[in-house]
Amino acid sequence: MSFNVTAFGDYCASAVEDQSTDVAALCQVYNLATDGSNAAGDLSDGLNTFFLLFSGALVFLMQAGFAMLCAGSVRQKNVKNIMLKNLLDACGGAIGFYTIGYAFAYADNASDSKTFIGNKNFLLLSFDGSGGEWIGWFFQFAFAATAATIVAGTVAERCKMQAYLCYSVFLTGFVYPVVVHSIWSGDGWITAFRDDPWQGVGVVDFAGSGVVHMTGGATALVAAIILGPRKGRFYDEDGNPLETPVSFPAHSVALQILGTFILWFGWFGFNPGSALAIDNSVSAETAALCAVTTTLAAACGCVTSMFTDTMIEKSATGEVSYDLTAAMNGALGGLVAITAGCSVVTPWAACIIGIIGGWVYLGFSKFLIKMKIDDAVDAIPVHFANGMWGVLAVGFFADPDLMAIAGYNDFPGVFYGGSGELLLCNFVSIVWICAWVFFLMTPFFVVLNALGMFRVDALEEEVGLDISHHRGPGYDMSAAKEEDVQALKNSRHGGTSVPAEDTA
């Protein structure tokens, strides 16, 4: 009674003369059914590729978001410098991740053994194009570039270009890939994507609160400590601590808000895109849920952070004021915090994660100032602190049903009656990422510093990096010469009637 469908297909194709009408009809139906199934497989490839192209492109656009946010946040005299760093990040990230980063991060060793680092696909040479390899690289590159760009803002206005280039290649080429390998690769030691993950569940960091944001944020923290604050931020000319820290005004709030919106938009690629496929109902549901939780966490983070800040300021000064920096960093904090759990928490949990994310941002920002650690764009509270909170939050809020839908083992978070395996896994991932980054980056930056390659000359810092290193300031707003405007006025209609607009 056994029937081999493939053999039957061959039989149909062979067109034997003596087959009955019945069999011929059946063969035709078989061919039709095969066509349908093959078309579905083809469509599936196309749809998933398109989904990752869309998501990767949106994540890439986050580079523009970071560039605008950072550019708006720094003083006018350093705007070219920070934007160039953002542009080079995207480029360096591409080159570093192409040559070695992807190989270190993902290479599957075709065994079930745990490995520390991948070792295949250098320069993508062994790609054969099938199985979405090209588009997979593209999507992962966009993430790597994001991790690198986080650091740029923190060390803005005082970091040397050479140092920046060194660490961004080091970060995307080695530090970040090893973290990825441990958590997102099937070979990683703490990954959820093995048959027998640690504690039965492994680390659940869906879109990378830990892998991407903490790695970038932790590097930023180390860099900020070793690099020291900007001149005049916490200490006066003679090095005596100031009573109140001087806050340097953002040179353009318009660019900051533009950057924030672009980042939020990009996150709709970052989080839903991390479903990696959308060719079936289950992954479609996962991606859709990610869009909802991402939106809600950002909204709650923004509102919470701004109004809390308003209340704090009101109790201090008696005036009601609304701070844009608190609002936009609150939104970003909420986005970072939901990144780990976007596919495994319910909307109400996303709201709570966002609300706490807003507080985490505010608290950590004030803590840094107290510690006299200078972060030019508050990237450490947003990415490092909220990255940690996001990874931890999964341990509390993960819904076991959603875990199963998202492809994890259905371990519940503590608030769903879990006994803490998931929380433990995620806590260990935080410790691991911090330890790995601190262990590698601290000596790295110390050596750079000792060699005098880390911080710019004091005078150059005072003048600003644009004039010192980038051939002049970033803006030239000089308008038309007064005498020319006057001459134009006089030339029109014998100079008697001047158009209204020219009198401006």
Round to whole Å and give the CA distance between 389 and 357: 7
Give the number of residues in contact with a second copy, rule: CB under 8 A: 159
Please list every residue from 6 through 45 that binds a second copy, using CB under 8 A: 8, 22-23, 25-26, 28-30, 32-37, 39-45
Residue 18 DSSP label: T
Please list every residue from 459 through 498 that binds a second copy, using CB under 8 A: 459-460, 462-464, 467-481, 484-485, 487-488, 491-493, 497
Q: How many beta carbons lie within 10 A of that of residue 35, not counting itself? A: 10
Shortest spacing between CB 20 and a second copy, in angstroms: 9
Interface residue with a second copy, options 117, 323, 424, 440 (CB under 8 A): 323
Nearest CA to 141 among 92, 82, 206? 92
Phi and psi of 159, rounded to 5°?
A: -90, 140
Q: Which is nearer to a second copy, 190 or 349 (CB)?
A: 349
189 binds a second copy (CB under 8 A): no
Shortest spacing between CB 385 and a second copy, in angstroms: 20
Phi and psi of 235, rounded to 5°?
A: -130, 150
Residue with tokens 């048959």: 195
Q: How many beta carbons lie within 10 A of that of residue 157, not counting itself? A: 24
Q: How many residues in total does the chain contain?
A: 504
Q: Which amino acid is at 502?
A: D
Interface residue with a second copy, options 219, 283, 365, 426 (CB under 8 A): 283
Q: Which is nearer to a second copy, 296 or 423 (CB)?
A: 296
Residue with tokens 């986005």: 335
Q: How many beta carbons lie within 10 A of that of residue 244, not counting itself? A: 7
Q: Which is nearer to a second copy, 300 or 362 (CB)?
A: 300
Please list every residue from 241 through 270 that binds a second copy, using CB under 8 A: 249-255, 257-258, 260-262, 264-265, 268-269
The set of residues, in sequence order, having a beta carbon less than 8 Å from that of 201 and lying 6+ positions away, is: 192, 408, 409, 411, 421, 422, 425
Shortest spacing between CB 169 and a second copy, in angstroms: 11
* 350, two tokens: 């996303």
328 binds a second copy (CB under 8 A): yes
3 binds a second copy (CB under 8 A): yes
Residue 173 DSSP label: I
* 305, two tokens: 């952070």
Q: How many beta carbons lie within 10 A of that of residue 197, not counting itself? A: 21
The set of residues, in sequence order, having a beta carbon less than 8 Å from that of 101 and lying 6+ positions away, is: 144, 172, 173, 174, 176, 177
Q: Which stretch binds a second copy (CB under 8 A): 86-94, 148-156, 177-185, 220-228?
A: 86-94
Please list every residue from 129 through 168 that binds a second copy, using CB under 8 A: 129-130, 132-135, 137-138, 141, 161
Residue window 88-127: x/- pattern of binding to a second copy, with contact defined by CB under 8 A:
x-xxxxxx--x------------------------xx---
Q: Which is nearer to a second copy, 240 or 244 (CB)?
A: 244
CB-CB contact of 190 with 182 (8 Å): yes
Residue window 424-463: x/- pattern of binding to a second copy, with contact defined by CB under 8 A:
-----------------------------------xx-xx
Shortest spacing between CB 148 and a second copy, in angstroms: 12
Shortest spacing between CB 205 and a second copy, in angstroms: 21
- Tell how far CA 214 is from the center of its chain: 10
Q: Which stretch binds a second copy (CB under 8 A): 181-189, 196-204, 287-295, 446-454?
A: 287-295
